[in-house]
Amino acid sequence: MNKKMTSTHALKLKNSGVYPTAQRLAIADMLFDRHQHFTADSLQEALIFNGIKVSKATVYNTLKLFVEKGLVNELVIDSQKCFYDTNTSHHHHFYNIDTGELTDIESITPKMLESLSIPEGTTIDNIDLVVRLRNH
């Protein structure tokens, strides 16, 4: 498993113009095998749990770099901490404020918004739509 995966990830980094250092590869290995949501903190914990020691500064630097290069997306879901998503396709989110659970709403269209079907046992607290602009 590891040999092949690692080289795949190394290639993925190189193709995005990211020099594949040991730490970046360790982080890529943690993230890119499946789509997932995580925070800087949860990522570092997972690394440490797997015996990989990476400093906080490197975790933050690497995430910033991966976001710049389009390898992960930044999610503004909570005002207190930043979430990341390895699913970089255009999609949206359910966020359960009681459980903290974050799940994808794949390929929503404006029409679907009208009759959005939500997970069982939950009610909508609010819907936030934020259009982030840049000056050009």
- Return the number of the residue (11 or 116) whose C-beta is nearest a copy of itself: 116
- The reply on whether position 69 binds DNA by CB under 7 A is no
Q: Interaction with a copy of itself in 63-92: which residues (CB under 8 A)?
A: 74-83, 92
- The reply on whether position 97 binds a copy of itself by CB under 8 A is yes
Tokens 């770099």, located at residue: 65
- The reply on whether position 107 binds a copy of itself by CB under 8 A is no
Size of the site for a copy of itself (CB under 8 A): 43
* C-alpha R_g of the chain: 17
- Return the number of the residue (22 or 129) whose C-beta is nearest a copy of itself: 129
- The DSSP H or E segment spanning 64 is helix 56-68
Q: b/e string for 81-109 if b means 16 or more Cβ within 10 A?
A: eebbbbeeeeeebebeeeeeebeeeeeee
- The reply on whether position 80 binds DNA by CB under 7 A is yes
Size of the chain, expressed as the number of residues it contains:
136
HSE-CB for 111 with a 13 A CA cutoff = 0
| Dist. CA 23–CA 55, nearest whole Å | 9
Q: Interaction with DNA in 46-65: which residues (CB under 7 A)?
A: 53-58, 60-62, 64
- In the complex, least distance from residue 130 CB atom to DNA, rounded to whole angstroms: 16
Q: Which stretch binds a copy of itself (CB under 8 A): 9-17, 25-33, 50-58, 104-112?
A: 104-112
Instruction: Give residues in contact with DNA (CB under 7 A).
Output: 19, 21-24, 39-41, 53-58, 60-62, 64, 79-82
